[in-house]
Amino acid sequence: MNFHVLFKPLLLLTSCFRQSFSLLKQNSAKVFTLLFTLGLCLSLGFAGCTSRNVQAPKVVNIGYQKSAVLALVKHQGSLEKQLSSSGVTVKWLEFPSGPPMLEALNANSIDFASVGEAPPVFAQSAGVPLVYVGNSSASPEGLAILVRNDSPIRTMADLKGKKVGVTKGSSAHFMVTQALASAGMQYSDIQPVYLSPADARAAFQQGNIDAWGIWDPFLAAAQRHGGARILRDGKGIASWREFFVTSKHYADTNPEIIKQILKTTNEVGNWAKKNHHEVVDILSSQLGIDAPSLELAESRRKRYDVQSISPQIIAEQQKVADTFLRLKMLPKPVKVADAVWQPKS
């Protein structure tokens, strides 16, 4: 509280009263004018005091997917405790996949998110002013192309002319393109069907698509209960990392909040590595997926840490961008390095 600002109008009040009494017998009109001026001064003085010292609370809006590490951060509530001392509250918004999350980032509906490799590339090409602020380790086995157990499809070559379901702009989308390339095939050799994970699962089980590119834990659930087998996973062709992103403006104006989110996320991730069964219990209730399926997914998952963006990671992401540009899926080229946050010293 600025006491000088507070007491200045009070001193003015005392002075004005003294003058008013001395003038009372001389000219009542002057007294009225003086008191009117006094009221105006007091009003402006206290208003200035209030505007200088009372600030609206800050809210950080975080987008998350139920299967991502941020879901565990939300569950534990540790970030709220860390940020509350700075007068910051946390609001969580759930999304089914990365692309709509980054649309929300562009619309300023969220301030921070974690997504896979492909969504930030599409968003950057579309002009979303995002920046990468961190990434996780790779979990390539958590991505795969599935076919039904009774399918005659045995090799990637057998996918020629077939319908392959995938979420457009997702990490699984990139993995499908790389799997085809590794088999000497073109993306045009398949019939891509762009579906959300839930819609793709229904289409897969009903036989409306021949194969499905998907990620854990939906991958594990389909393996155990969806009559599916893996045709090709991401090993050697896709990293499947989590990328932590925000807008450049938000990062530049709230660097301490970003650092605290990353710090807390890394701490929760370290806890998750040591408490495998508790993680399964938490995610099972949130996702509605049985524990054995999640056990399978967790056995392949290494995406719990938070690392700084390195030149190697930038090169990996640039490959993702160049791949989708070559396939004419991006509106314009992107330079991933331009979207890496450089905190001001």
Token pair belonging to 66: 């139920």
Fold of 58-139+240-339: D-Maltodextrin-Binding Protein; domain 2 (3.40.190)
- Cβ-in-10-Å burial (0-12, 13-18, 19+) of 311 comes to exposed
What would the pLDDT profile of 230-242 be if each residue is shown by its tens digit?
999 999 999 999 9
What would the pLDDT profile of 16-55 be if each residue is shown by its tens digit?
434 444 443 444 444 434 333 434 334 444 344 433 343 4
Whether 315 shows a pLDDT value over 70: the answer reads: yes
In this predicted structure, what is the pLDDT of residue 67?
86
CATH code of 140-233, in short, is 3.40.190.10
Q: How confident is the model over 162-185, as a mean pLDDT? A: 96
pLDDT band at 286 (very low <50, low <70, confident <90, very high): confident
Length of the chain: 345
**Residues linked to residue 103 through DSSP beta bridges, in sequence order:** none
| Packing angle of the helix pair 291-299, 218-225 (nearest 10 deg) | 120
Helix H or strand E segment including 222: helix 218-225
What would the pLDDT profile of 59-107 be if each residue is shown by its tens digit?
999 999 988 999 999 999 999 999 999 999 999 999 988 999 999 999 9
* Residue of 216, 215, 195 whose CA lies nearest to 206: 195
Question: What CA–CA distance (Å, rounded) separates 162 from 85?
Answer: 56
